[in-house]
Amino acid sequence: MKTINIGILGYGVVGAGVAKLLKQKKQLLESRIGAVLNLKTIADIDITTDRGVELGTTALVSDATVIIDDPEIDIIVETIGGETIAKEFILKALENKKHVVTANKALLASYGNDLVKTARKNLVDLAFEASCGGCMPIIKSLRESLVANDIKAMSAILNGTCNYILTKISKDGSEFEDALKDAQQLGYAEAEPSLDIDGFDTAHKLAILNSLAHGMEINLKDIHVEGIRTITPKDIEFAKEFGYTIKLLAIGKIHENHVEARVHPTMIPDSNPLSHVDSSMNAIVIDADATGQAMLYGHGAGMMPTASAVLSDVADIARNIISGTKRRVPILGYPEDNIKPIPILPMDELYTRYYLRFEAQDHPGVLAKISGILGENNISIKSVHQKGRKTNGNVPIVMITHIAKEASVQDALIKISKIDSVVGSPVVIRIEETVQE
Amino acid sequence: MKTINIGILGYGVVGAGVAKLLKQKKQLLESRIGAVLNLKTIADIDITTDRGVELGTTALVSDATVIIDDPEIDIIVETIGGETIAKEFILKALENKKHVVTANKALLASYGNDLVKTARKNLVDLAFEASCGGCMPIIKSLRESLVANDIKAMSAILNGTCNYILTKISKDGSEFEDALKDAQQLGYAEAEPSLDIDGFDTAHKLAILNSLAHGMEINLKDIHVEGIRTITPKDIEFAKEFGYTIKLLAIGKIHENHVEARVHPTMIPDSNPLSHVDSSMNAIVIDADATGQAMLYGHGAGMMPTASAVLSDVADIARNIISGTKRRVPILGYPEDNIKPIPILPMDELYTRYYLRFEAQDHPGVLAKISGILGENNISIKSVHQKGRKTNGNVPIVMITHIAKEASVQDALIKISKIDSVVGSPVVIRIEETVQE
């Protein structure tokens, strides 16, 4: 039986998960793939901490070049994360004709196009199933299963931290800060939570998925990103009254000459299967022209789900090696020559529906003033709730609009916030209706 | 660019869908795969009816051997269905060294082991993503994405007809016969609906999925199968009161020396993501040891979703051909030599929880008699509802049991049905609790 040698760069949680699963499933993998997947070497600057993995003959070294320059190693798994040293190592590994498997979404979102070019130049594979949606086979589905489809739209919950926090606010009526603290205590959120809760992690993943879905270059910088810091129990409660749930969604849609790519808190109706995706679970709804609506759901993070996704890539590459082939499926789903830059729609030009909440002193004529400004901005209102629930003497005015233009809504909000009786900043949350099938 | 020639056997709904999608997506497929997928010939006994597909240079013939014996054809798509002529054609095609793609779950469930052996002998591929779950990538997920996992359990809604009918009964309170008529009028059910509503179609799919999940020979005959004919609005209503939904589930679980494989109406709690899968949609929840719980959801049938799944297989084989390889992934996920027969647990030996409903004349002591018999059979009761809702003068007694043995429950039901005051046959529906994670 052929032996395929593997090296792991980075022995943190994910690296240890990959090592553990490779060891635990040695027999299963041999039985299924027909090759020995031998974990030859792991490199990490910390070679003393016990990660609870029985390493056996696997070497643990502090110098990554021991792996990158080892002529016997076929596949390198990068689990360092971040955009500096990981990038340098991956580029060197590719130049050394190693196939690379990574879960590094931040790196792929920012430098993916360069990495793909380097992999192409060196005729090796670069695989990243674990970068988006953890154990859900999103990448494989887009690259392979949906090959005969044009992807019309994707909407996804791709960050377990945000979904946990929003679920907590929704179920317990917690304030954001308390829900965040709870998530931190349970290990769902980092001490420095910005990457997750401000939406950047979700945007990284959307940049990758948009590329795979539409054969476009990876483009992170033009994605509109908003996080969940401003979400209050009050808005979640109003959302429920209208039949909506609030989720942090990554939304990608194709239009004739551009794509939409945006990350923001979104109200979705109960008929949208994403509305039932709670706690730290992730899910993606893909609307493709032949399949119609489909959803993948699962653990988007965690040691073993991530390791499972990494090993699905390792197995794919191993199967290529024993079949005497490589680069069997293009890295981004389309051969590099067919990948085009497709512009992302500027946010101002978005048309969608909006939930608006204003706090106003209970003076006569406030509603008329607000409605007047919205009307002048061509924003027509589908429903209004003005209930007597006073907060600090103010009354909330809640509106759902028909489809309106983002620039007009933002302009109207500025004008409305200048009305004397309107207190504080208006709240705006975009609404995404389910595609009815 | 290399040309790969394709022939389709059977020009019904699915065959026409495949032809249509191959034509519509010619450019997309070329762009993604880097080869021309040329639909050379379609064979059907009816060569006159217009299927609305612009055939161009594709020949439509009445003799299947024109395709099977064509040395230029690389891949044959079988969309005839059934177990007679389709089997003969597939075996001939495999003997002629053609790769075969089929959606024929009935054939695979009954003769899959033979087909796999023939494909192996002739060193060709046999692919069947469209056989289970339509456009959902169940087969690819089990064969490839979950390669480093032991699959602990699967539970799935795999028949859109049954799910539509159960949803209709649940939402509208319709009786089964009316819901079936409605499904027939909408084209969700056949005029002869037994294959679907009696659970056989679901069992075919479970036989295939169990094989892929556990590396076991396909075994249809030992799967316990019950359909949905006996489901009443009354039981659905009681289920709701207990927080359950009733779905026709395929359940597959691995134990130390055997598997569970059963198809029957099942009560699941609202926390089970399958409980939100309504109308004709399909879904599968896979509980694997590394990934934890994951779900795939989508259209399980229909012309274009099925065609999409067929073309994902065609593309996989085309990519093998242009990579100079074949049989890159074993047909059943494990190399044939590693596939074992694993016994299916006899239904009598199942342990699970039960919903029981008895109709009884409102006489004193009935409940005591029923409880006594259950106690003698080691069935302990978790909750009892005996409400005053009389039907024809009878009172329904509804019970939820703790985990009990199937043989004991069936024995108890026979004894209980002999009690004078108990009217008609007791209703028994098994309960499946969600794996809590």
- What residues of chain B, 147 to 206, have a C-beta less than 8 Å from chain A? 147-150
- In this predicted structure, the answer to whether residue A389 has a pLDDT above a threshold of 90 is no
Tens of pLDDT along chain B (437 residues)?
Answer: 999 999 999 999 999 999 999 999 999 999 999 999 999 999 999 999 999 999 999 999 999 999 999 999 999 999 999 999 999 999 999 999 999 999 999 999 999 999 999 999 999 999 999 999 988 999 999 999 999 999 999 999 999 999 999 999 999 999 999 999 999 999 999 999 999 999 999 999 999 999 999 999 999 999 999 999 999 999 999 999 999 999 999 999 999 999 999 999 999 998 899 999 999 999 999 999 999 999 999 999 999 999 999 999 999 999 999 999 999 999 999 999 999 999 999 999 999 999 999 999 988 889 999 999 999 999 999 999 876 666 677 899 999 999 999 999 999 999 999 999 999 899 999 999 854 43
- What residues of chain B, 215 to 234, have a C-beta less than 8 Å from chain A? 215
Say how many CA atoms lie within 13 Å of A272 toward its Cβ: 28
Contacts of A141 in chain B (CB under 8 A): 137
Q: What is the pLDDT of residue A172?
A: 95
Alpha-carbon distance of A198 to A187, in angstroms, equals: 18
Q: What is the pLDDT of residue A385?
A: 86
Measure in Å the smallest separation between the Cα of A6 and chain B Cα atoms: 15
Question: Is A22 in a helix, a strand, or coil?
Answer: helix
Q: What is the pLDDT of residue B385?
A: 86
- Catalytic, out of A168, A205, A247, A253: A205
Q: Which of A30, A32, A274, A313 to probe by mutation at the B interface, max B CB count within 10 Å?
A: A32
- What residues of chain B, 85 to 124, have a C-beta less than 8 Å from chain A? none
Say whether residue A320 is in contact with chain B using an 8 A CB cutoff: yes
pLDDT tens per residue, range A315-352? 999 999 999 999 999 999 999 999 999 999 999 999 99
Q: What is the pLDDT of residue A433?
A: 85
Q: What is the pLDDT of residue B373?
A: 98
Q: Which of B129, B135, B321, B334 to probe by mutation at the A interface, max A CB count within 10 Å?
A: B135
Say whether residue B269 is in contact with chain A using an 8 A CB cutoff: no
Q: What is the pLDDT of residue B402?
A: 96
pLDDT tens per residue, range A10-38? 999 999 999 999 999 999 999 999 999 99
pLDDT tens per residue, range A222-267? 999 999 999 999 999 999 999 999 999 999 999 999 999 999 999 9
- In this predicted structure, the answer to whether residue A390 has a pLDDT above a threshold of 70 is no
Residue B234 annotated among the catalytic residues of the structure: no
Interface TM-score (ipTM) > 0.85: yes
Alpha-carbon distance of B294 to A50, in angstroms, equals: 30
Spell out the domains of chain B, with CATH numbers in brackets. 2-135+303-338 (3.40.50.720), 141-299 (3.30.360.10), 348-431 (3.30.70.260)
- In a 10 Å sphere around its CB, with 0-12 CB exposed, 13-18 middle and 19+ buried, how is residue A379 labelled? buried
- Give B292's strand partners: B288
Say whether residue A303 is in contact with chain B using an 8 A CB cutoff: no
- In this predicted structure, the answer to whether residue A192 has a pLDDT above a threshold of 80 is yes
Measure in Å the smallest separation between the Cα of B260 and chain A Cα atoms: 21
Contacts of A320 in chain B (CB under 8 A): 323, 328
Q: What is the pLDDT of residue A434?
A: 55
Q: What is the pLDDT of residue B186?
A: 92
